[in-house]
Amino acid sequence: MTVPLLACTPLVAALLWALALGVDGGPLAPGSVLLVVTGLLGLTTVGMVGVTVTGGRWAYRTLLVTVGAMFLLAVVRPIDVLWGLALASNLIAAIAVLSPALIAGLRKLPVATGPPARAVLLPLLLIGFPFPLGISAWDETSPGTLLVGLSAPLAALWFARVFPGGLYAVRIIWPALAIGLSFTQWWAPAIVSVISGAVVGVLAWHPSVGVAFHPPREVGTVYPIPPELAPREVLDSAELDEHGRPSQ
């Protein structure tokens, strides 16, 4: 029970920061607050579930990133009671994430049958993308910025759930959207959109990502097995003996 409790602390801190920004976003525009909260809660939830369920180091690194990002919000938002509560929970989350008890519960080696590293990193980048986009947009959030930011987690879900067309969503659709709509944004979020679209596109076109989305094994494919493992009736119908040789 220790690891799940410790892994939940970053999510509690993220919820308090979301509440604090919802009450008073400070210099951030409402659209920027929406993007920041979307990216923060999404990435923190994924990291918490990953650490709790799989003990994956990728999930642990995700929690480290989210805890660090929340300290940035302490600089952005005005100081009040909610700011103090959120910062205190953020400090508790940092101590919990760095505690030996949580680190000891992590998997020592990656899963042999797990997805390639790029296939894991790709949806994480898309889920967390609204956060830096919202920070860069600051007090000027255009419709293009909102569309690019809020569509990123949807593209990640589309890909991660292996929905039809999910590979094209991360290879073509979302990168084209991010780069194409950069011309409708202020220069800071435009730069973030272009760089993110290019990075996601390059990662998505790597062969390992395609294999992760479409594994080589298909229904109906024939795989050789030792004749000793084949049913007797199959060998008889093929006129083979128990060693796989033609029967006399």
Predicted confidence (pLDDT) per residue in 88-114, tens digit? 999 999 999 999 999 998 988 776 667
Average pLDDT over every residue of 148-154: 98
pTM value is 0.85
Q: What does the pLDDT read at residue 48?
A: 96
CA 73 – CA 201 distance, rounded (Å): 29
Quick check: 17 and 73 in contact, CB under 8 A? yes
Tokens of 215: 């594994």
CA 62 – CA 81 distance, rounded (Å): 28
Q: Look up residue 149 and give its amino acid.
A: G
CA 7 – CA 16 distance, rounded (Å): 16
Quick check: 7 and 106 in contact, CB under 8 A? no
Q: Is the pLDDT of residue 221 over 60?
A: no
Per-residue confidence at 40, pLDDT binned at 50, 70, 90? very high
